[in-house]
Structure 1
């Protein structure tokens, strides 16, 4: 077992099994947030198992050899805590937030659920129905659906372009044995990270985790932690194209953009500044032009999504269908302008301030501090201090931002639309 101090109040222990434990002590709080992070997400699924990660996320709260589904929820709620989970394309997280005195309970319950779930066949059938309803509900939220359509436009048939939840065609035939094999193959100690932040002691957390793991399927022999995710050479963004999904909606939902940067690209700091200038707030170019000056859309913003080896950038707008063409033209004008002429020094300063403020203000609770620890360890392989990150943002130059703008927005763009349209309404 190896323990190291990463920063003041932050410690990291690697158990002999390869499972990692990272904590941050925040003595001024009376709460603690705990997360069990697994470095497996929807991009790790074969086509026949599309949606298995999300399916499994549902099932791990349905019962273990020690606890029923009711026990899992009741034990945490009885102390006023909360627990939940989420699945992404590259990792899955199970988390709880409790009073500091109840952290031992949270560790025992969450570790038990993640390490030793039974996956009863009856529970598989129940959750299959829940997930199919969730997929149907998602299709009733066109403002969310359009982002999934856009990801498919950019990444095509690569797993990064697929829905995290799976589809009715993939979820319906998936068997309990398939899900269980996926569980035991991928939920191994080297892939798992336990992160906690709050009023805690690192050595105590390590003892609690080791006790909870004893005798479980994760209590395994010596191994090294899994390395950070490597690049997948299959990730290719195809030629720019347009995808239109017909829905009888009152609003048109539009995303225009293209491939972006991976999260290990040092230019991500310049992209963060650019994103804020372009569409990151009420003072941004897109908000001012489309909403404030013309009142054409209630919601308009730009965003960047980053994965280990790929990313995308896009501009979203929700507007009346009759105004969709005008809104698209205005978005194109702004993207052309920033690609050709870049941003000003005043915008650079404001964009930096927005990035720094959002980051620091986002660390005001134990949950966000816990997530910061986990993502740094799991996705980046190191933990940047707050001061180091602010320094990196301060070092961004206007030339760097303008170069990124020209590269990402200077060429042809892809378009995703969900609304009362057909393909012919948006010619290439």
Structure 2
């Protein structure tokens, strides 16, 4: 490859050799179904994912949490297979199968040996197209999800993460928890979830990605047969659904502080600002910035908060991008009585990076860390399958490892400093869970941000 490969929705066939000799192929069927594969030399297994670009941000008020609810229900049976049949299909071959619901997409996936890939495709296709959402199973799974929400609510790190998204994104749909709330899950009815299913699981919505030991032509034939068996008429012409609008959203911060008072031994603390959208051309820059600030044991946050002062065991930063916005966050778990000190230290390191920039040594180290971790991740077909899915749904382009390394190599210290200054000047939100008084954070952002 020479640069990223564009994935226009009106391009029917694509064939490209990527770094490491893997073969990328893409087919867009007349019905709008998109199929992408990455054949990896030497692989003896494959990971397959069935994707839709529908996540928690797409729900209506009366169906909050229904996307995640539906993810559970698709494992509960079809006219051809019971829930046990689905589970046995993968257990009997030593395979793995699961699903993930995110804010902007849902994926049902499985990892199997190469000889079992046709079975995995057939089962996932049956689940995706023909789940019955039987009433008894619906009510049973409602209880399971309520228990899942209760488990998350018992985890302070989960709670503080949800509160930070609410604080940073305010009334924007990205602020909502993916799983909904106990009230919304308790209230949603089967008919509402069924309508959500039928409205969003159509040929034009479906993206299938496979990475590992896969023959693309056999894959397309298998998917076509499986979808046809399920009753989908793939001869009806249909264009793939348009990707999300990538223009930056105008978002008003929800709150400056959100404190959840709980008698925990440790305070869980997050500081956050709005970050960059997934399509922003500065994504390599924020990746370098995050690595230097809090991306590893040599990062500034780790060295300053943990190694030098011993104030936290876990301390890091993160950057997540969505179609129209993003978030940059700094996390630490610490003694409640030191929470204010830790917050000031973390914000101080962020500001220092914005004011003084990073060194050439830090830039080189970040490039090495990110390049190496990217290469290691691609040893796993799960990561390659996910890369294909996000390339198709979110980015509209595919970047192999060589292109990723090229983009990282193009980042300069000046770009990192300029972006840090831009981010640190944005409204700051603080979220915390623990035995804390909100007043301990008074004045945290009084210091003028570096320009």
Q: TM-score, normalised by structure 2?
A: 0.92
Matches within 5 A, 1:21-40: 21-40=35-54
C-alpha distance in 2 between matches for 1:89 and 1:168: 18
| Alpha-carbon distance in 1 for matches of 2:89, 2:65 | 29
The residue that corresponds to 2:448 in the other structure is none
Select which of 401, 406, 419 maps to 2:421: 406
Q: How many Å separate the matches in 2 of 1:411 and 1:71?
A: 52
1:6 aligns with 2:16: yes
Aligned to 1:379: 394
* Partner in structure 1 of residue 265 of structure 2: 250
Please say if 1:73 is aligned against 2:73. no
Counterpart of 2:269 in 1: which secondary structure?
Answer: strand
Q: What is the Cα deviation at residue 231 of structure 1?
A: 4.0
1:414: Cα distance to partner? 1.1
Residue 239 (structure 1) shift: 6.8
Measure how far apart 1:385 and its partner are: 2.3
Q: What SS does the corresponding residue of 1:23 show, helix, strand or coil?
A: strand
Partner residue in 2 for 1:266: 281
Deviation at residue 240 of structure 1 after TM alignment: 5.8
C-alpha root-mean-square deviation of aligned residues, in Å? 1.5
Q: Deviations over 1:286-327 (max 9, x none)?
A: 100110011110000010010001001010000111111111
Q: 2: CA distance between counterparts of 1:396 and 1:11?
A: 30
The residue aligned with 2:322 is 307
Distance in 1, Cα, partners of 2:120 & 2:229: 18
Greater CA drift, 19-28 or 410-419: 410-419
Identify unmatched segments of 5+ residues in structure 1: none
The CA distance in 2 between the partners of 1:68 and 1:284, in whole Å, is 49
1:43 paired residue number: 57
Cα distance change, pair 234–292 in 1 and its aligned pair in 2 (3 A):
closer
> Partners of 1:235 and 1:65 in 2: how far apart?
45
Measure how far apart 1:359 and its partner are: 1.3
Equivalent residue number for residue 326 of structure 1:
341
Alignment partner, residue 227 of structure 2: 213
**What is the distance in 1 between the residues matched to 2:232 and 2:35?**
14
- Aligned CA distance change for structure 1 residues 140 and 249 (closer, same or farther; 3 Å): same
**Residues 210-237 of structure 1: CA deviation (Å, up to 9, x unaligned):** 1100143543521111222114776513
The one of 365, 373, 385 equivalent to 1:358 is 373
Q: How does 1:139-218 map to 2 (within 5 A)?
A: 139-216=153-230, 218=232
Aligned-partner Cα distance in 1 for 2:105–2:14 = 24
CA contact (8 A) 2:171 2:254 kept: no
Structure 2: how far apart are the matches of 1:300 and 1:233?
29
SS at match of 2:331: strand
Runs of at least 5 residues in structure 2 that lack an aligned partner in the other structure: 1-10, 444-451
* Residues 49 and 107, structure 2, Cα contact 8 Å, conserved in 1: yes
Instruction: State the Cα deviation string for residues 128-175 of structure 1 (Å, max 9, x = none).
Output: 111111111101111122111101101112110000000011111111
Partner of 2:7: none
Q: Secondary structure at the match of 1:184?
A: helix
Count matched residues: 428
Stretch moving more, 377-386 or 178-187: 377-386
Picking from 98, 104, 113, the partner of 2:118 is: 104
With over 3 angstroms needed to count, the CA separation of the structure-2 counterparts of 1:94 and 1:403, relative to structure 1, is same
Q: Comparing 268-277 with 338-347, which one deviates more in the overlay? A: 338-347
